[in-house]
Amino acid sequence: MDIYTALIHHPVLDKRGATVTTAVTNLDIHDLARASRSYGVRGYYVVTPIAQQRSLVSRIAAHWRQGQGRQFNPVRAEAFETVRVASSLAAAIDDIAQETGQRPITVATGAAIDTGHISYEALRQRLLTEEGACLVTFGTGWGLTSDAMEAMTLRLPGVHAVDGRDGYNHLSVRSAVAIILDRLLGARAPAPR
């Protein structure tokens, strides 16, 4: 499958559980672009309904793709080739459908997902063996809204430590993206001979 990632800035939750729109942060653009490129993700969508924020992301991407950023760091330019903007999740889905000829399966992530999910291994097998496209979505703020999650095709279980070492589960989205992409698309060390 063609894999895509999306960082959702609306609709997401705030600490009181209200649905809000969060601001795009430069660190999330860079780090998720680098993680996405490292795992062969075809496109990384920064999703925000705020037009000024989309044009900010486009300016940052242009700087690193062909501006002074490229001269300064061509490796980062390659990561920025994955960066795209979309006004909504639906717009990102339409973009992918246009590019691949079919609508992607959509996957929700979140620390608190512990029911109704597909295992990482099962999704990994689908990604590595099936045709089509898959869009793995990540939230900001206090996470994706339940409505947003319910509208998605699949859900992945929350990442957490083994029993006895868990209890604090507040990964940054940057850490969560790297962990989840590695579980889905990371090379597995060959079994010891």
Residue closer to ligand SAM (CB basis): 165 or 193: 165
Query: Which of residues 43 and 110 has its CB atom nearest to ligand SAM in the complex?
Result: 110
Kindly state whether residue 110 participates in binding ligand SAM, applying the rule CB under 6 A. yes
Choose one: 24-32, 72-80, 96-104, 157-165; the region binding ligand SAM (CB under 6 A). Answer: 157-165
- Decide: residue 65, CB within 10 A, 0-12 exposed, 13-18 middle, 19+ buried: middle
Q: Does the footprint of ligand SAM cover residue 119 (CB under 6 A)?
A: no
Q: Of 42-101, which residues contact ligand SAM (CB under 6 A)?
A: none
CB of 49 to ligand SAM, least distance (A): 17
Binding flag, residue 1, ligand SAM (CB under 6 A)? no
- Which residues, in sequence order, are CB contacts of 177 under 8 Å at separation 6+? 5, 31, 32, 35, 36, 138
Q: Which stretch binds ligand SAM (CB under 6 A): 46-54, 56-64, 125-133, 153-161?
A: 153-161
- CA 188 – CA 169 distance, rounded (Å): 25
Pick from 137, 142, 135, 136: which is nearest to 172 by CA?
A: 142
Residue 87 to residue 10: CA distance in whole angstroms: 9
Q: Which of 111, 152, 154, 185 is close enough to bind ligand SAM by CB under 6 A?
A: 111
- Min separation Cβ 74 and ligand SAM, Å: 29
Output Rg (C-alpha) for the chain, integer angstroms: 17
Q: Which of residues 159-188 bind ligand SAM (CB under 6 A)?
A: 159-160, 169-173, 176
Give buried/exposed letters for 166-181 (b at 16+ CB in 10 A, else e): eeeeebebbebbbbbb
Based on the shown chain and the rule CB under 6 A, indicate whether residue 140 belongs to the binding site for ligand SAM.
yes
Q: Report in angstroms how near the CB of residue 179 gets to ligand SAM at its nearest.
A: 8
Cβ-based nearer residue to ligand SAM, 44 or 142 = 142
Answer whether 43's CB lies under 8 Å from 27's CB: no
Q: What does the binding site for ligand SAM look like in residue numbers (CB under 6 A)? A: 109-111, 138-140, 142-144, 158-160, 169-173, 176
